[in-house]
A and B are shown apart, each in its own frame.
Chain A
Amino acid sequence: DGGITQSPKYLFRKEGQNVTLSCEQNLNHDAMYWYRQDPGQGLRLIYYSQIVNDFQKGDIAEGYSVSREKKESFPLTVTSAQKNPTAFYLCASSEMASGLKETQYFGPGTRLLVL
């Protein structure tokens, strides 16, 4: 089955710790995205990547980092600089970044909690 997987489903972070959220897709999509969702809020864009080895900051990139070494993988690291990391994190991908092929498909999400 083609799709987007995110792991883990739940992640706990201690103070001062960096944690990495995994996102993998087997849809052969070029573009991938990370969003943060807080209760009662819409989705806010953290980072996006239109092609391998390239990525751009979204609206709330501070305290986060990403890499795109492979087409199918776009991991997100929540660094200790992110002071309020508790949220639901959603990864998405699209075939391309223009036209109807920009339609985004989402993974199941990772809930990050701070201990």
Chain B
Amino acid sequence: GEDVEQSLFLSVREGDSSVINCTYTDSSSTYLYWYKQEPGAGLQLLTYIFSNMDMKQDQRLTVLLNKKDKHLSLRIADTQTGDSAIYFCAESIRGSTLGRLYFGRGTQLTVWP
């Protein structure tokens, strides 16, 4: 229940939408998170979704959760060059060690002007 998979690279043009995908294996997930990491920096929490929700929108960010397929996505509308970073998906699992997060390997988003 600890496998979180993400594609490693995504390139888009400035102004387009970006969609970063993530799959997880444990159906006992409680919360699912998206973090952003800029070069040489720590992880910045972008958004999260509770496992009983289907969608969450926060300004340019839309999170979609398909529990049946264990698929999570992050859509960034009107992508800007400042959105270039590594994006990590993470899940917390009910019944696991409290507070334990499991991370994917991260998706490197490159935005071309």
Q: Which residues of A contact B (CB under 8 A)?
A: 4, 6, 31, 33, 40-43, 45, 48, 50, 56, 90, 92, 94, 96-100, 102-109, 111
Contact = CB atoms under 8 A, between A and B. Distances in A.
A106 B31 contact: no
Contacts of A42: 4, 88, 103-106
Nearest to B5: A42
B100 to A, nearest CB: 7
Indicate the member of B42, B50, B88, B98 with the most A CB atoms within 10 Å: B42
Contacts, number: 62
Interface of B: 4, 8, 30-31, 33, 35, 40-45, 48, 50, 88, 92, 97-101, 103-106
A56 to B, nearest CB: 7
Contacts of B105: 40-42
5 contacts: A45-B100, A48-B97, A100-B31, A103-B33, A106-B44
Given A107-B42, A108-B42, A109-B41, A102 B92 contact: yes
